[in-house]
């Protein structure tokens, strides 16, 4: 069951559509549930709402497997996605990947603060949640902002799951943040990337893997239960992301 409604983001001075999945038996008892926060909300639950027409099909997956978790999807602001999902303005590694200097990024801190200080209290008040059992997952730039959120709020997001993360946008800064962060409260981290993220542009594919491997190496030093997988032949699109949904919940 999905509930959809707007929530006001104070720092951005705008409403943002929120999509909340509730387990099939939610209305039949008083049980409390863990919560998973996800970005790119339009692309999470069903194809009809997805940008580009392909989603993770998470609503069907959760119903079919009777997984008892509340999932909160935060819609992306398509015109400002890079700015919101990048905590810093793009750096030198990003220039190497893109081939040009990008001035995008820098509003990720405000976006994460909204989730923790405004959205999470709202969700915890509205639904029967296990307030201290909160995870976050993200794809591409959503993986970057998820990792940042864990570092900023390790007491909140104790499990993270990131797929095909575009760490390269803020490579230098996110590596430094991981190094400087106390992650002793983190329970589990899963990250992966495909070996053909950009299709057949081999130099970009190699750089993408190297970027993710560097983050894994940093995280593994801090959190023992960190898993990294390279997905053979996987490209950077939802037909491939969808196949890894089960990994999130099995992990």
DSSP line for 38-89: ES-GGGTS-GGGSTTS----HHHHHHHHT---EEEEEPP-GGGHHHHH-SSB
DSSP state of 184: T
CA distance 131 to 192: 27
pLDDT at residue 197, as a whole number: 96
CA distance 182 to 176: 12
pLDDT at residue 182, as a whole number: 98
Task: State whether residue 27 is helix, strand or coil.
Answer: helix
Residue 205: is its pLDDT beyond 90?
yes
Residue 10: is its pLDDT beyond 80?
yes
pTM: 0.97
Token pair recorded at residue 34: 């863990």
Residue 39: is its pLDDT beyond 90?
yes
Residue 215: CB partners within 8 Å, gap ≥ 6? 147, 165, 167, 174, 175, 178, 191
Percent of the chain with pLDDT strictly greater than 90: 92
Do 197 and 233 touch, CB atoms closer than 8 A? no
Domains belonging to the chain, first-starting first, are 2-250 (3.40.50.1820)
Residue 251: is its pLDDT beyond 80?
no
Range 210-223 average pLDDT: 98
Range 117-122 average pLDDT: 98
CA distances, 100 to each of 23, 95, 171, 206, 236 (Å): 45, 5, 15, 18, 21
Percent of the chain with pLDDT strictly greater than 70: 100
Query: Which residue spans within 88-215 are E strands per DSSP?
Result: 129-139, 157-163, 188-194
Residue 12: is its pLDDT beyond 80?
yes
pLDDT at residue 96, as a whole number: 85
Residue 107: is its pLDDT beyond 80?
yes
CA distance 168 to 174: 9
Do 75 and 115 touch, CB atoms closer than 8 A? no
Range 221-233 average pLDDT: 97
| Mean of pLDDT over the chain | 96
Q: How confident is the model at residue 34 (pLDDT cuts 50, 70, 90)?
A: very high
């Amino acid at each position: 069951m999905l509930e959809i409604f707007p929530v006001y983001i104070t720092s951005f001075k705008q409403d943002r559509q929120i999509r909340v999945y509730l387990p099939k038996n939610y209305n039949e008892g008083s049980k409390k549930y863990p919560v998973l926060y996800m970005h790119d909300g339009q692309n999470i639950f069903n194809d009809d709402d997805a940008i580009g027409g392909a989603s993770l099909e998470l609503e069907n997956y959760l119903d079919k497997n009777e997984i008892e978790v509340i999932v909160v999807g935060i819609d992306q602001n398509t015109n400002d996605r890079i700015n919101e999902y990048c905590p810093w303005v793009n750096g030198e590694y990003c220039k190497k990947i893109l081939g040009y200097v990008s001035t995008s990024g820098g509003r990720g801190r405000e976006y994460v603060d909204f989730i923790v200080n405004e959205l999470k209290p709202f969700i915890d008040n509205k639904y029967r949640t296990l307030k201290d059992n909160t995870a976050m997952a993200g794809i591409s730039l959503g993986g970057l902002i998820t990792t940042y959120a864990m570092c900023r709020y390790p007491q909140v997001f104790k499990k993270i799951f990131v797929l095909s993360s575009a760490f390269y946008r803020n490579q230098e800064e996110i590596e430094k943040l991981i190094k400087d962060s106390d992650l002793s409260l983190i329970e589990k981290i899963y990250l992966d990337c495909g070996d053909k993220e950009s299709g057949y542009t081999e130099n970009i594919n190699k750089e993408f893997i190297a970027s993710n491997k560097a983050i894994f190496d940093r995280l593994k030093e801090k959190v023992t239960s960190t898993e990294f997988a390279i997905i053979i032949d996987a490209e950077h699109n939802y037909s491939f992301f969808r196949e890894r949904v089960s990994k999130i919940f099995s992990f």
